[in-house]
Structure 1
Amino acid sequence: MRLYDLSHPLETGMTVYPGSPPVEIGRTATIESDGYATSRLELSSHTGTHMDAPAHMRPDGDTIEAIDLERFRFRAVVADCRPLEPRTPIDENRLTEAVTVSETALETASLLLCYTGWAEYWGTDRYFEHPYLTADAGDWLVANDLDLGIDALNVDPTPGADDDDSGPNDEGPGTNDESSGTNDEEPGTYPFHQTMFEADRLLLENLRGLEALPTDAVFEVQAFPLAVADGDGSPVRAVAVVD
């Protein structure tokens, strides 16, 4: 059995969704001065490798702390969608063609990991130009009772540096505003999020290390969020467990 860390470390100045507050981590006590060390963490609930709960966009959606703990242990399969150009839409056909496990194996899975290769660009401007999933891909995932993880900043298009719309309230897709869920797959709109959340599915974003995982087998992924009261999402330590 091998464990694979699929999470980006939390650190000051790390990549965040356009308009989200910057991450700041600082010492509040040191061993030298106080005899112990503690730190202050200032970050959004959707910072780094994180989970989106349905409450991220739906007023009636489940909040992160209300979801049963068993939902955070997944039977996962990888869909290697590479090669992909910047801002390439991944539709149902492209997604299903990238799944190489058998139909029988897929029926036992609860999480599909969309491998775009975009983790390679973490910390660069190109990271914001990631591929994204379309609403019909979401329909297929919902029909197959699958949650979705991706090695990119967002499952929908992300506004670039030259885009004016950085999302509702300048917090990215982090509000419970139904008006953000349009059918236009444009930066600042969230059709894939909405499709998944309407079916109470979970989303994992900003994964890394998917290249180390098997594409021909089902394996376990654990991704437990913080128990944030009335939480719309949370950073996670996502770990793959491969026999």
Structure 2
Amino acid sequence: MSTPHSHANVVDLTHTITEDMPVYPGTDAPIIEQGTTVAKEGFAEKKLTFFSHVGTHMDAPAHIFEGKKTLDALPASTFTGPACIVDVASLTLITLDVLKQYEDQIAQCDFVIFSSGHEKLWGTEAYFSPFPTLNEEAAKWLTTQDLKGLGIDAISFDTMDVTRLFIHEILLGSGLVLIENLKNLDTITHPIFTFVALPLKILESDGSPIRAIAMVP
């Protein structure tokens, strides 16, 4: 018996890894070298050198805490589930009042994805300019909502001027995974969709680049 084709619309939420992409300040840019070529060796392979938190990527609890879970230690089911978009485009601070407006949707979801519109600045210096971040109360509330993870279309869940990643500590400390540098969130209009964010299965991985997609009904 043949199975019917899925009618879900698949939206790619992932930035392409390039040598000139934005990277977190202090991090080396990716190096992408042509290791072999079809013309010379008969097959093409690239040699890739980049940090584990480059581009669209996932943070494991081990990113901030020694002894906490690495991505390879988490079940594959951690990386997919129902998600909702929280529109934070006009905000500088994401407060509990903002989240409460989406409380019914959040209760049905494994992932909450924050859409700030900041992805439009990707590739420019302005990508590092201020973007919406959670305050402590909102971050702590999210850790009580039986979620697997959170995502955002900006480079961090903390502001760029901090010396301690306090919001990361609250979220990762509770066992959530965090996805940063998402894109195309403004194309998703459905209130709840299937989110898939698969990290590379690297031994003791504190983080990994991912291919993130939305499967929209």
TM-score, normalised with respect to structure 1: 0.82
| Structure 2 counterpart of 1:77 | 84
Check whether the contact 2:11–2:215 (CA below 8 A) recurs between aligned residues: yes
Shift of 1:95: 3.5
Check whether the contact 1:81–1:95 (CA below 8 A) recurs between aligned residues: no
Distance in structure 2 (CA, Å) of the matches to 1:76 and 1:94: 17
Distance in structure 1 (CA, Å) of the matches to 2:160 and 2:163: 7
State the AA in 1 paired with 2:135. T
| Structure 1 counterpart of 2:22 | 15
| Structure 1 counterpart of 2:152 | 150
Check whether the contact 2:56–2:180 (CA below 8 A) recurs between aligned residues: yes
Describe the superposition over 1:204-229 as per-residue Cα deviations: whole angstroms up to 9, x where unpaired. 00000000112x52110111101110
State the AA in 2 paired with 1:236. I
| Structure 1 counterpart of 2:141 | 140
Shift of 1:91: 2.2
| Structure 1 counterpart of 2:5 | none
Number of residue pairs the alignment of both structures matches: 208
Query: Is 1:89 aligned to residue 96 of structure 2?
Result: no
State the AA in 2 paired with 1:89. L
CA RMSD of aligned residues (A): 1.3
| Structure 1 counterpart of 2:63 | 56
Query: Is 1:217 aligned to residue 170 of structure 2?
Result: no
Check whether the contact 2:128–2:160 (CA below 8 A) recurs between aligned residues: yes
| Structure 2 counterpart of 1:188 | 163
State the AA in 2 paired with 1:233. G
| Structure 1 counterpart of 2:183 | 208
Shift of 1:196: 0.8
| Structure 1 counterpart of 2:211 | 237
Describe the superposition over 1:16-54 as per-residue Cα deviations: whole angstroms up to 9, x where unpaired. 000011111110111111111110111100000000000
Distance in structure 1 (CA, Å) of the matches to 2:208 and 2:55: 9
Shift of 1:12: 1.1
Shift of 1:93: 2.0
Match of 1:39 among 46, 69, 77: 46
SS at match of 2:24: coil
Ranges in structure 1 where 5+ consecutive residues have no aligned partner: 160-186
Check whether the contact 1:134–1:191 (CA below 8 A) recurs between aligned residues: no
Distance in structure 1 (CA, Å) of the matches to 2:13 and 2:106: 21
Ranges in structure 2 where 5+ consecutive residues have no aligned partner: 1-7
Check whether the contact 2:150–2:177 (CA below 8 A) recurs between aligned residues: yes
TM-score, normalised with respect to structure 2: 0.91
Shift of 1:145: 1.8
Query: Is 1:30 aligned to residue 37 of structure 2?
Result: yes
| Structure 1 counterpart of 2:3 | none
Distance in structure 2 (CA, Å) of the matches to 1:204 and 1:16: 15
How many percent of aligned residue pairs carry the same amino acid?
A: 34
Shift of 1:109: 0.4
State the AA in 1 paired with 2:41. D
